[in-house]
Chain A
């Protein structure tokens, strides 16, 4: 199991670097952004990097669901949650049972 990413915390949670890297990759590729992954710090809110319109957010969400083979619960489909990379990563890991300390 990978160690939690140091310094990337949101609401008292931690996520693995692998999950966050995958989310970053999905974000960049699904929106066709001309960015490197390193240009997207973990702490940065996703929409602050490129500016997202309403449909782009949805495009990202559906690409994310495809990547992780899961459906995000309706109550989580809000911009404040979707734009927050660490929270999103924690949520995905929790849903997939991969959170540090949880059963794989």
Chain B
């Protein structure tokens, strides 16, 4: 396979705020409602969360929830449309609005959880009710070729990873650069970098998917027998395999499958459910990977098991899956 992408300079997680082209900047507002929200979130709310107990934060969250539900009513309609367009098993037209409502609620409490785990004293605020299937993970680690922890974007992923790191199961996370949407000129200049730093505090052990050393860093971790967390339910723009996900055609990341082929690592699915007030982590048995002579054959042989695993998780816990809005 030929590669033609130009090498990019090494990225630090917080120095990659893209500058808008000059044409886009003309007519762009200086400050948007999103900027004001994120300013409030990243400064006073964050400070408050560092001092206040989780119970108080959650109480405030519960009081705010009806307003958030009202504010996101159009977004919920869009979510319902997307849910029904997908072929998620068991998801009916009657259930979709209820799931959309819970989705919004989860998003609100996830935002609060992010504030909680961004502080240094996050450990005592996390209440893990169960870690199931840890033996599957240990068995995979014992094989000595590293473990790729496979999951979809679930609401509790970040708190679960923070917790797992504290019990001796740290994992490298591969992530795409996140920037909040709808930033104005000032937001892009001053708040976006702060937002990216905040994201980095939530998941400090991470590698940017655009980093030219990304694959090497993952390979390095796997070769030392460690864990790498891959969120496989995202679309990929450059290196992708065409497949169907929840009944819709998607461009699924090809790099992950190549990484598994190169490294011979084990693949263990992980599911994280709940919020910081009570969450559980479930590891499933290792996926059986089929060997193949070429990357394409390997992808064709193993993609279905990746997809089926994640589709099953989403079908069982649709309200906790975060990416309905991008389906």
Shortest Cβ gap from A58 to chain B (Å): 4
Instruction: Report Cα–Cα, A56/B7, bound state, in Å.
Output: 10
Instruction: Report Cα–Cα, A88/B213, bound state, in Å.
Output: 17
The digit string for A53-86, where 1 denotes a CB below 8 A from any CB of B, is 1111111011000000001001101110010000
Question: Could you say which of B1, B2, B212, B214 has the most chain A C-beta atoms within 10 Å of its C-beta?
Answer: B212
Known A32-B1, A74-B223, A74-B224; judge A57-B6 contact (CB<8 A): no
Q: Are B223's CB and A57's CB within 8 A? A: no
B residues in contact with A79, CB < 8 Å? 10, 212-213, 216
Instruction: Report Cα–Cα, A33/B258, bound state, in Å.
Output: 19
Instruction: Report Cα–Cα, A47/B216, bound state, in Å.
Output: 14
A interface, over-half SS:
helix
The digit string for A15-54, where 1 denotes a CB below 8 A from any CB of B, is 0000000000000000111100000000000010011111
Q: Are A55's CB and B212's CB within 8 A? A: no
Shortest Cβ gap from B107 to chain A (Å): 31
Q: Are A77's CB and B219's CB within 8 A? A: yes
Shortest Cβ gap from B233 to chain A (Å): 19
Shortest Cβ gap from A84 to chain B (Å): 14
Contacting residue for A74 out of B1, B220, B254, CB 8 A: B220
> In the complex, which residue of chain B has the Cβ closest to the Cβ of A45?
B7
Instruction: Report Cα–Cα, A56/B138, bound state, in Å.
Output: 31
On chain A, which size bracket covers the interface?
Answer: 20 to 34
Shortest Cβ gap from B292 to chain A (Å): 15
Instruction: Report Cα–Cα, A29/B220, bound state, in Å.
Output: 23
> In the complex, which residue of chain B has the Cβ closest to the Cβ of A79?
B213
Instruction: Report Cα–Cα, A62/B219, bound state, in Å.
Output: 10
Interface presence of B294 (CB below 8 A): no
Task: State which residues 133-189 of B face A: CB under 8 Å.
Answer: none
Q: Are A51's CB and B216's CB within 8 A? A: no
B residues in contact with A31, CB < 8 Å? 1-3
Instruction: Report Cα–Cα, A52/B254, bound state, in Å.
Output: 16
Task: State which residues 208-223 of B face A: CB under 8 Å.
Answer: 211-217, 219-220, 223
Contacting residue for A61 out of B3, B212, B214, B216, CB 8 A: B216
Q: Are B223's CB and A54's CB within 8 A? A: no
Contacting residue for A32 out of B2, B212, B213, B254, CB 8 A: B2
Q: Are B2's CB and A52's CB within 8 A? A: no
B residues in contact with A50, CB < 8 Å? 3-4
Task: State which residues 261-276 of B face A: CB under 8 Å.
Answer: 262
A residues in contact with B119, CB < 8 Å? none
Contacting residue for A58 out of B6, B216, B238, CB 8 A: B216
B residues in contact with A74, CB < 8 Å? 220, 223-224
* Chain A to chain B: the 3 pairs with minimum beta-carbon distance, closest first: A56-B3, A53-B5, A32-B2
Name 24 interchain pairs, CB-CB below 8 A, sorted by A: A31-B3, A32-B3, A47-B7, A51-B4, A52-B212, A53-B239, A54-B213, A54-B216, A54-B255, A55-B239, A56-B3, A57-B215, A58-B216, A58-B219, A58-B262, A59-B1, A59-B262, A71-B223, A75-B220, A77-B219, A78-B220, A79-B212, A79-B216, A82-B216
What would 18 more interface pairs be, CB under 8 Å, given A74-B223, A75-B220? A31-B1, A31-B3, A32-B2, A32-B3, A33-B2, A51-B7, A52-B7, A54-B212, A55-B3, A55-B255, A55-B258, A56-B5, A57-B212, A57-B213, A57-B215, A57-B216, A59-B1, A79-B10
